[in-house]
Amino acid sequence: MSIQNAVVDMEEYIWNDGGIYRMRGWRAADAGENPVFEAFDEKGVPVEVILQDVRRADVAEIYPQYRDRADHLGFLLTIPDLEAYMESHEGLTIRLTLGQEERVLTSMTGTELKNAYQDASLCYKLDECTLSGKNILIRGWAVDALGEDRLTVTDENGQEVGEPVQRLIRNDVIEEMHLKEGYPCGFCFTMPREEFSGKKLILSMENRLTRKTYVITMSRFDYENSRRGKLRKVFKKGSFSKNRQVLKEQGLKGFVDYVREEIRTDDEKYMAWLERRRPDKKEWRRQREEQFPKTPLISIVIPLYNTKERYLKELLDSIVNQSYEHFELCLADGSTSESPGALVQKYAVHDKRIRYRKLSQNLGISENTNEAIRMATGEFLLFADHDDLLETDALYQLVKTYNEDPSLDILYTDEDLTNEDTSLFHSPRFKPEFNYDFLRSINYICHLFLVRRSLAMEAGFLKKEYEGAQDYDFILRCCERTSRIGHIPKVLYHWRAHEESTAGNQDSKSYAVKSSMDALKAHYKRMGIRGSVEFTGIFILLRTILEIEGTPKVSILIPNKDQKETLEKCLDSIYGKSTYSNFEVIIIENNSERQETFDFYEEQSLRHGNLKVVTYEGGFNYSAINNFGVRHASGDYLLFLNNDIEIITPGWMEELLGFCQRKGTGAVGGKLYYPDNTVQHAGVVIGLSGFAGHVLTGRRRSDVGYFGRLKAIQDVSAVTAACMMVKRSSFEAVGGFDEDFQVSLNDVDLCMKIRKRGELIVLNPNMEAYHYESKTRGLETTPEKQERFKKEILRFRKKWKETLKAGDPYYSPNLTRVTGDCTLRGRHEVSKVWESLFPGKKED
């Protein structure tokens, strides 16, 4: 080894527990070499440090000669109680030595060390700095270890501008940085661009120890947000390949449309997307004239309470202008003000479909809504809030879908947020088809919610004891009584976000958390499901822990070829983290060549009485290897596990088994991370890149993900067999893994077969593990392997043609199919993965 093969990736100072200094990096050593870390102060006095080895698969990939030592390439060096150290020592030097060779990794004087520590008392990150519509928008987070939290925006002369910076709760940052619950570390600043005349906009964060600034030069800001600046970004050198492909596939007109789309901000893209889907006057008239075989009367039930006149007027306008006319509007008014009633009466004079009742007193949102329900005479009930908006074709789309399937008892639609003056529509909630486990994690259905009135009466009125989550409780009770539930993937409802609304301020109804938990517990009691409910700390996301029935045996199957250290880490984590005892481990040996591997097998078999090794003699075929292993398994539940998995979660087996045991569930998967704590697996989406792919990969471990997908238990189309528990009866019923899928897509195919027989595939992100698959690993490394991969893709597409055509029911058709990042689907999408495999061939 050369001492030059050592890199410091990061030095950090942490403000808790008396201060902590950390150095992260890697060093590569040849066999038999032992580089030594040494730390000392300016006087040469040795300093005690804590040294930990860290697995670095990324480094092992760059230096193949060190691949078998990947577990020991990385390092984490820590000096605890840094404040006490700085009081008794001056300066710090850390070096790495090997024989006579040495290399200084860091060296600081006492003053430099103190300044670095003080500077770390304040840290921040800008997530966005852009022109949103006509407003300057700055969003991000800032953490002040001293709790002073002084955050201002000024011009170049130090003059404060605009409204005070809004502070927000950022649960993702709180979780990642281990901050106090509810700490408002997020921030958002907006002001009209035309109101700022300065040359520089300066975001300043300071405490008594340090000050940090972010300077925005307005001339550059204006250029980057101008049409010309955005066009330059689209046509930058790195975009040539993508632009050429779009031009080739879409032609000149399509390419122009693509460029127009690319120069828009995310909000502008969504606004344009929404506008394209709104009925114009001609389409609206056509909808109004359309004669449906079934024309159910829809009762729109809305409770009023001191509703602002402007909000109420916009709501009423959005309803009376519906293209489907056969409805009644039932308004129950518990206001202390006469204003809402007076406005409604003006509308009611000209529209007899409006029914209004002034309540003698405000009964609360649940009872006010119940009074509106009692006014209803329609076949269906439709719920809305008093300050929100409907699209003018909302009822038409509901009735159209109902006519396509008159057996439906419940229908729900997508929704988004709008600001107070409805000049901006944003944050669309693109929902999956009915997803029971997702609903048990979060009230994703929300608006619009249409239910057959007879079913609603059977379920019962809204209950005051669940105030704040009364709609969640009601939706759960309705869904318990029918499986005829449909979803319209169209944004037909706009939730107005303002200071008093839940949409605008998640803490405005903090009591909703307890009510939601109580509603879900009551649901489980009615359904005879035994388990507990916890609050995740993320508004308003719940976690279910199902009780294990009995102690069924779990067979853990791990294919392996050599890689002793990798397998050892996997086994150590299984035996170290497992709190469930009735399991066996079956290592499926396949063509190992090193004697140390077989010695390790013998050692582990003697050490663990529930571990055995079986030998598969054929060449590598993942499906055949695992099918072979199952024949040697005695468990009722099969847990397929890669040898490069390291378990994180104590009780991980229970997290999987609780759901896998449940009637109607066939398989359960967990949430996997790359070694850098970014997401490797959180469910598989059918149709990504033309076949299948993982969703939200690369996100930080603390990220909530789109619609809470990274934290919510949910039903998915497939999970990876890198860590997947399957009910044995389900596995055998579908014939196990299809051995024609030798390497790829075998796990997805298995899940598809299980789903075809009517069973669910569940993702439980509370079961966490590291998957040491390389983050930069390509699809395949040789022409032969790539050809095999392409054949498996084409076979998968042929076998599941109808499913691919229909689309993944758990992933909205409004979201991109190019990647799994859950962004808005583009008009001219080009999958880099598909194009690299099948150049010039269009996805069917």
The more confidently predicted of residues 68 and 281 is 281
Task: Summarize pLDDT for 687-719 with one digit per residue, the tens.
Answer: 998 899 999 999 989 889 999 999 999 999 999
- Residues sharing a CB contact under 8 Å with residue 649, sequence separation 6 or more, in sequence order: 577, 655, 670, 766, 767, 768, 769
- Mean pLDDT, rounded, for 586-615: 96
What is the per-residue pLDDT for 504? 45
Write down the residue that tokens 């890669």 correspond to.
642
Task: Decide if 610 contacts 571 (C-beta within 8 A).
Answer: no
pLDDT mean across residues, the chain:
91
Is the pLDDT assigned to residue 506 strictly greater than 60? no
Which ranges in 120-224 belong to alpha helices (H)?
171-177, 218-224
Task: Tell me the pTM.
Answer: 0.82
Give all domains of the chain, ordered by start, each with its CATH number. Answer: 6-117 (2.60.40.10), 121-224 (2.60.40.10), 227-263 (no CATH), 281-544 (3.90.550.10), 554-837 (3.90.550.10)
Q: How far apart are the first and last CA of the chain?
A: 52
What is the per-residue pLDDT for 266? 79
Task: Summarize pLDDT for 334-376 with one digit per residue, the tens.
Answer: 999 888 999 999 999 999 999 999 999 999 999 999 999 999 9
Q: What is the Cα–Cα distance from 185 to 174, expressed in whole angstroms?
A: 8
Which ranges in 578-651 belong to alpha helices (H)?
595-607, 622-631
Q: What is the Cα–Cα distance from 22 to 17, expressed in whole angstroms?
A: 13
Backbone angles phi, psi at 677, to 5 degrees: 65, 30
Task: Decide if 131 contacts 220 (C-beta within 8 A).
Answer: no
Q: What is the Cα–Cα distance from 433 to 413, expressed in whole angstroms?
A: 10
Task: Decide if 440 contacts 449 (C-beta within 8 A).
Answer: no
Task: Summarize pLDDT for 21-65 with one digit per residue, the tens.
Answer: 999 999 887 666 778 899 999 999 999 999 998 888 788 878 877
Q: What is the Cα–Cα distance from 303 to 384, expressed in whole angstroms?
A: 8
**Can you give 43-82 as a three-state secondary structure string?**
CCCECCCEEEEECCHHHHHHCHHHHHHHHHCEEEEEECCH
Q: Residue 471 — pLDDT band, cuts 50, 70, 90?
A: very high
- Residues sharing a CB contact under 8 Å with residue 368, sequence separation 6 or more, in sequence order: 303, 304, 305, 332, 333, 334, 359, 362
Task: Summarize pLDDT for 569-586 with one digit per residue, the tens.
Answer: 999 999 999 999 999 999
Q: Which of 316-330, 456-470, 818-832 has the lowest mean pLDDT?
A: 818-832
Q: Structure tokens of 598?
A: 């077989």
What is the per-residue pLDDT for 499? 52
Task: Decide if 201 contacts 136 (C-beta within 8 A).
Answer: yes
Q: Structure tokens of 296?
A: 């159910």
Q: What is the Cα–Cα distance from 387 to 394, expressed in whole angstroms?
A: 16
Q: What is the Cα–Cα distance from 73 to 90, expressed in whole angstroms?
A: 30
